[in-house]
Amino acid sequence: MTEFRTLSHTTKLGKVARYPLKLVPPTMVMPVLTGKLRGKRWIVGSGTHGWWLGWHESEKQRAISEEVRPNTVFYDLGANVGFYSLLASMLVGHGRVFSFEPVPRNLSYLKRHLDLNHAGNVDVQALAISDKTGVARFRVDEDFSMGHISTEGDISVQTATLDSLVQDGRILPPNYIKMDIEGAEHEALLGARECFERYKPTLFLATHGQEVHEQCCGLLKSWGYELSSIGTDDAELLAVPRAR
């Protein structure tokens, strides 16, 4: 399995090895084959095959699995179709997961995956998290795997700050936050200043672009966080409060 994963899809051997995956109907529900979610039910056509094969972002999967404890609260920002929401659902047990995803197509798959796996401890929020509450344009990539707030966006989405949602009692204060929102990380952090300073959640952060990366690192350090890379990718960060 590991050897297959390392084959580039751009090489002839990689293309030949991956050809059988094209024969799997996109509507088919398959068990996740490897990793922490092994055996969980997954819709093949909801995203890349790496999700139901179980190896996609394996280092991030491992980092989250090692950090998250039972009976805690986990935020999944940029939940997409729900892989990390399912992982967090399993890890927190009797705790709670709040999943944030603004794209209607992804929301549909997210909810179906939660239903298929009886993940009753997950609360889905059809929101894009930012530094403002209101409405924004949102650009969706062709394969729906990535999207971000943009003035040239294809759709309109509701936005909110984490601070406002916690203050209004719409969500519980977090112990853990996974954030992968395609370049809007700095704005989302700015809208969660009180959340971070008061509750000191552990953060699993994917940054997009050098400028955003530096802005996020500077902000988190000013809040008393220590940063380390997840695996070999410097854009994937684990941020923990110094005094935890």
Label the pairing between strands 128-129 and 155-160: parallel
pLDDT tier at 182, thresholds 50, 70, 90:
confident
| Chain segment 153-175, per-residue pLDDT in tens | 677 889 999 999 999 999 999 99
**Is 88 in contact with 73 (CB distance < 8 Å)?**
no
What pLDDT score was predicted for residue 154? Answer: 75
Mean pLDDT, rounded, of the chain: 87
| Chain segment 89-142, per-residue pLDDT in tens | 999 999 999 999 999 999 999 999 999 999 999 999 999 999 999 988 777 766
pTM beyond 0.85, yes or no:
yes
Query: What is the fold, at CATH topology level, of the domain defined by 57-241?
Result: Rossmann fold (3.40.50)
Label the pairing between strands 41-43 and 155-160: unpaired
Can you tell me the mean pLDDT for 216-238? 94
Is 8's pLDDT higher than 50? no
Sign of CA dihedral 120, 123, 126, 130: negative
List the structure tokens of 206: 């994917």
Q: Which residue has the tokens 């990390």?
A: 84
Query: Which of 196, 185, 195, 127 has the alpha carbon at shortest distance from 160?
Result: 127
Sequence ranges of the domains in the chain: 57-241
Who contacts 7 (Cβ-Cβ below 8 Å, separation ≥6)?
13, 14, 17, 18
pLDDT tier at 234, thresholds 50, 70, 90:
confident
List the structure tokens of 42: 């997954």
What pLDDT score was predicted for residue 19? Answer: 43
List the structure tokens of 176: 């853990």
